[in-house]
Amino acid sequence: MFLPPKPIYPVDGIRTIEALVAPHAQPSLMERAGRVAAEEAVRLTQDRAGHVLIACGPGNNGGDGFVMARRLLQAGRNVTVAFADDAAKLPRDAAAAFAAWRAAGGETVSDFPAAPANGWALVVDALFGIGLRSPVTGRHAQWIEALNAQHAPRLAIDIPSGLDADTGRVLGTVFHATTTLTFLALKPGLLTHDGPDIAGVVNVHRLDIDPPNYLPPKGLQIQPGILKPLLKQRLQNTHKGCYGDVGIIGGARGMTGAALLAGRAALKLGCGRVLTGLVDDAAPAVDFTQPELMLQRPDDVIENATVLALGPGLGHGEVAAALLERAIRQARPVVLDADALNIVAASEDLRALVAARTAPTLMTPHPGEAGRLLRSDTAGVQSDRVASALELARTFNAVVVLKGSGSVIATPDGRWLINSTGHPGMASAGMGDVLTGLIASLIAQGWPAESGLIAAVHLHGAAADRLAREGIGPVGLTASEVAEASRGIFNAWTIQATKGH
């Protein structure tokens, strides 16, 4: 259950590792990649007889395809290789792989082939690898469209052609894989932005190499193992004062529910008390759904809470800005979300105050809010989500989660993580408020800022995943249901982590 985090490398990191390994690799990395790809093809077609179609491109990704084809041919499989480029212009290793394929009796076709009568058993994309930087057009784009139209499993070698390996952006026409076999390590583009919708099931094969031995990764895919050291059973001799007070500031007129959702989520994750400061003077004096919440004046909450979370339903008026400034000036952890982020983005003074803080600052923007904070726009943020998250973390000296498909967590010192839990059913009102409450609760209980943010983001998505498996969602899933499920998963993690202690 508690698997360690998985390393992620951008393209320049993969190239560095390849340059260090290649001179001594026997057999070559391309030979290893093609062998592993052939084994994956056999696995994917074990219940499907018939021909395998491999579309090879003009670079080393095509070379992997030629090795794969040769291996399958030698194993007695029917293989068709489509290759429309100039073999004389192939890179050295790919040219050698092409020659070995031909020497083994293999042939290539230069036009996209018609499917056999019983269809293809598998279609394989070996057109473009991780070095692609410009949109796929022309014949290659037509081939990708034809591959996508086949009624067969679709395997991408290393990266789906047309997907930017660093950013997850689609470059022109893109291959929609049902499985992606990627080599050495995960790439950011497989895990964020459009990557999760394009790559299908992602399998990593290290090719008998341990990449961190050659280059320590700055990026990690979050796994529960990263949280295990902080999951501890509570002592019997304890009381609510041991687990901190979360202060929620928000809930302007018409948005009271946002602050209450955040407060309820914080309470369910185990903080001692939740002090909820509702900005709306006409707000109720008690939350009858969750009467354990202490509804107080916002000023009193700011003075007394262990950690402050501002933004859920905060609004944008002078009162909201004044409360935000006062909270930022406190020497205690602050979680900034939603309206709080937009107020900071619009004020030079508040931007400077946040950046100058010495107590932990945690920020939870979605791409639109991130664009305003970076004086950019949503498209600019999404064009490179990892870079955008890192810039936010540096600019505001904060631990940041850039929410979205493959949420990116970044730290001011340049480290980053990608979370892969969660599903599209979480695109509904109140989910961000619940996340804010989960984060604040862990920080109030003494978790370090970075670890608390990582745990809350991973838990938030894992709770939604569990609910979907149980038939609750994905469509129609509510934030309240996720808060409830988060409690159960967190307790299960704690029990599992502390067995035998």
pLDDT reported for residue 49: 83
Which residues make up each annotated binding site for AMP?
403-407, 432
Per residue in 188-239, pLDDT (tens digit) is 999 999 999 999 999 999 999 999 999 999 899 999 999 999 999 999 999 9
pLDDT reported for residue 9: 98
103 and 39 in one domain?
A: yes
Q: What's the whole-number mean pLDDT along residues 44-49?
A: 89
400 and 490 in one domain?
A: yes
Q: What's the whole-number mean pLDDT along residues 160-186?
A: 98
Q: For the whole model, what pTM was predicted?
A: 0.96
Q: Single out the residue of 162, 166, 215, 135 nearest to residue 390, CA to CA.
A: 166
Q: What's the whole-number mean pLDDT along residues 28-35?
A: 98
Domain that holds residue 108: 6-221
Per residue in 258-272, pLDDT (tens digit) is 999 999 999 999 999
Is the model's pLDDT at 94 over the cut of 70? yes
246 and 173 in one domain?
A: no
215 and 238 in one domain?
A: no
How far apart are the C-alpha atoms of 50 and 183, rounded to whole Å?
Answer: 26
- H/E element, 196: helix 195-199
pLDDT reported for residue 232: 94
Is the model's pLDDT at 499 over the cut of 90? no
Is the model's pLDDT at 24 over the cut of 70? yes
Is the model's pLDDT at 482 over the cut of 70? yes
Q: Judge residue 222's burial from the number of C-beta atoms within 10 Å of its C-beta, 0-12 exposed, 13-18 middle, 19 or more buried.
A: buried
Q: Is 1 a member of any domain?
A: no
**Residue pointed to by tokens 């406190």:** 330
Which residues make up each annotated binding site?
60-64, 125, 129-135, 158, 161, 258, 313, 366, 403-407, 432-433
Detail the DSSP E strand segments found in 101-185: 108-109, 122-126, 154-157, 179-183
Is the model's pLDDT at 501 over the cut of 80? no
Q: What's the whole-number mean pLDDT along residues 366-372?
A: 98
Report the CATH number at residue 130.
3.40.50.10260
Domain total for the chain? Answer: 2
419 and 369 in one domain?
A: yes
pLDDT reported for residue 281: 85
390 and 255 in one domain?
A: yes
143 and 18 in one domain?
A: yes
pLDDT reported for residue 19: 97
**380-384: long-range contacts, CB 8 A cutoff, minimum separation 24:** 382/169, 382/193, 383/167, 383/169, 384/166, 384/167, 384/169
Q: Is 190 a member of any domain?
A: yes
Is the model's pLDDT at 500 over the cut of 70? no
The domain boundary, picked from 194, 221, 248, lies at 221
Per residue in 391-409, pLDDT (tens digit) is 999 999 999 999 999 999 9
Per residue in 131-142, pLDDT (tens digit) is 999 999 999 999
Q: What percent of the chain has pLDDT over 70?
A: 100
The domain boundary, picked from 198, 221, 244, lies at 221
99 and 25 in one domain?
A: yes
Report the CATH number at residue 391.
3.40.1190.20
The domain boundary, picked from 187, 203, 221, lies at 221
Amino acid code (one letter) for 188: P
Which residues make up each annotated binding site for (6S)-NADPHX?
60-64, 129-135, 158, 258, 313, 366, 433
Is the model's pLDDT at 324 over the cut of 70? yes
Sheet holding 122-126, edge to edge: 108-109, 79-82, 52-56, 122-126, 154-157, 179-183, 201-205
pLDDT reported for residue 421: 98
237 and 207 in one domain?
A: no
Q: Is 358 a member of any domain?
A: yes
Q: What's the whole-number mean pLDDT along residues 402-421?
A: 98
Q: Single out the residue of 456, 327, 344 nearest to residue 395, CA to CA.
A: 344
Average pLDDT across the chain, whole number: 96
Q: Single out the residue of 35, 117, 32 nearest to residue 69, CA to CA.
A: 35
Which residues make up each annotated binding site for K(+)?
61, 125, 161
Per residue in 271-300, pLDDT (tens digit) is 999 999 999 888 888 989 999 999 999 999
Query: Which tokens in the block code for residue 435?
Result: 């996340």
